[in-house]
Amino acid sequence: MRILGIDPGTLFTGYGIVEFKGNELTYIASGVVKINPTKEQAPRLKKIYDELELIIQKYKPDEFSLETAFYGKNAQSALKIGYARAVSMLVAVNNELPIKEYSPREIKKSVVGNGSATKEQVQFMMKKLLALKKTKMKFDETDGLAVAVCHAFKVSTPVKKSKNWKEFIAANPDRVIG
């Protein structure tokens, strides 16, 4: 299964594409859609739509995963991220891709093991898990990859939750990084 993960933003929208077969994760592509900050909102959203459309046409993902909006101190920022999320979802819907959303905390917990992980920790784990050779990556890019990897983990992991780490490791030895 090929998964496209999106970290939505109105200045930078990060994306990551992974292939997930069996229990193997393979890096396919990643990057950032850069949006001109001087443009008005509507042309910025069109740019996100157009770039994601090209990415979907080129890489042909089977599934689409997206980071949910979170409310911080600035309601205006949350609203703008909501626009980028909506445009991203529209591209997926128009390409008939199933959409799954994950909270920032859920993504971090899935890929790092800690829902309060820093962007640096997420970036480190993406480079490690996917054996990335790229040295310079924006956080938006590795966040997009983390969304895709989180989705891969969620669809491959049974719904039954482990009571503790020892139980989880015993049930999932293939997910332990040595």
Which residues are known to be catalytic?
Answer: 7, 67, 140
Beta strands in 22-170 (DSSP E): 24-34, 63-67, 99-102
Q: What CA–CA distance (Å, rounded) separates 158 from 110?
A: 14
- C-alpha to C-alpha distance for 110 and 149, rounded to whole angstroms: 8
Rounded distance between C-alpha atoms, residue 76 and residue 56, angstroms:
29
